[in-house]
């Protein structure tokens, strides 16, 4: 029996398709580390992984593959992710990039699918724009914890976007109000509350959406999805608001803005006018 025999229901060529697939993972913390581990077990053969950070002790409650020894050494998160992959897929082709993703956008352009595991709304917006420009399917995950009365609500979402279909702005996940509030809070101390099981659940859902793109075992593919997680109720279901945009074309990216080979996210981020 081959290593992937028990997932042969994904399709007769699924093992080869997954081995040929090239996935970009942006952000290798709680969510991204789960994504990397699961992609390796699926048999994905090619990776572009991007994260500018080293592990610290606060990451140990959720970062898959991280150890106390890594904290002592200050190991790069991309190094931990590569170690996790090679423990399962020794011959994987891996670009482990210790950088901000905007600095390595050329490498990300070569991916079949991008999975974003970023906290900041502005960063999600930029990555969405990048994928629209280069016609790359994008899967975004995120979670948060909200104070509700005397308790807390764990929530999160997983979104699939393909060019021409609803974007993060269409779905209401990126708004000018959210961007402005984030800008006002820029530099505030502390990070968002995070815990391992919601990260794992959301990452698993993202990997499932990725697998449906590569191996549509059920005979259908979808161009978009918006799944919401309620950690208090223990539910993961299609967002009610998704029904209003699911069958609509994206209104934020016009035909002349998608598939633009001259787009450079670094210029947009810095407000530099494009040369002609």
Q: Where are the domains of the chain?
A: 11-265
DSSP string, 78-89: HHHHHHHHHTT-
Q: Give the pLDDT band (50/70/90) at residue 152.
A: very high
Q: Is the pLDDT reported for residue 79 higher than 80?
A: yes
**Distances in whole angstroms, Cα of residue 65 to Cα of each of 44, 181, 194, 234:** 18, 34, 17, 26
User: Which residues sit opposite 22 in a β-bridge?
Assistant: 46
User: Which residues sit opposite 140 in a β-bridge?
Assistant: 116, 159
Question: Which positions ≥6 away from 69 have C-beta within 8 Å?
Answer: none
CA atoms of 216 and 12, how far apart (whole Å):
11
CA atoms of 163 and 150, how far apart (whole Å):
42
The dotted CATH code for 11-265 is: 3.40.50.720
Percent of the chain with pLDDT over 70: 89
135-156 mean pLDDT: 93
Q: Is the pLDDT reported for residue 245 higher than 50?
A: yes
62-66 mean pLDDT: 97
pTM: predicted TM-score of the whole model, two decimal places: 0.91
**4-8, 45-49, 85-89, 261-265, range with the lowest pLDDT:** 261-265
Q: pLDDT for 154-165, tens place per residue?
A: 999 999 999 889
Please provide the average confidence, as pLDDT, over all residues in the chain.
Answer: 90
């Amino acid at each position: 029996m081959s290593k992937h025999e028990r997932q042969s229901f994904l399709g007769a060529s699924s093992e080869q398709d997954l081995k040929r697939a090239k996935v970009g993972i942006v952000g290798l913390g709680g969510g991204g580390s789960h994504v990397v581990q699961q992609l390796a077990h699926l048999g994905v053969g090619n990776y572009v992984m991007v994260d500018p950070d080293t592990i610290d002790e606060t990451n140990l409650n959720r970062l898959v593959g991280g150890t106390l020894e890594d904290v002592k050494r200050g190991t790069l998160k991309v190094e931990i992710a590569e170690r996790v992959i090679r423990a399962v897929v020794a011959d994987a082709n891996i670009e482990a990039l210790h950088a901000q993703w905007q600095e390595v956008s050329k490498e990300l352009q070569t991916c079949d699918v991008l999975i974003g595991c970023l906290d900041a709304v502005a960063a999600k917006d930029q990555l969405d724009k990048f994928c629209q420009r280069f016609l790359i399917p994008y899967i975004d995950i995120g979670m948060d914890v909200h104070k509700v009365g005397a308790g807390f609500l764990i929530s999160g979402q997983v979104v699939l976007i393909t060019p021409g279909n609803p974007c993060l702005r269409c779905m209401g996940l990126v708004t000018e109000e959210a961007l402005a509030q984030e800008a006002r809070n820029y530099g505030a101390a502390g990070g968002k509350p995070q815990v391992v099981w919601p990260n794992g659940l959301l990452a698993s859902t993202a990997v499932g959406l990725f697998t449906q793109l590569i191996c549509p075992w059920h005979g259908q593919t979808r161009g978009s999805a918006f799944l919401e997680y309620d950690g208090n109720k223990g539910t993961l279901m299609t967002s009610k608001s998704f029904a209003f945009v699911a069958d609509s074309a994206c209104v934020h990216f016009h035909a002349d803005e998608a598939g633009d080979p001259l787009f450079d996210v670094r210029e947009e981020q810095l407000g530099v006018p494009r040369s002609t």
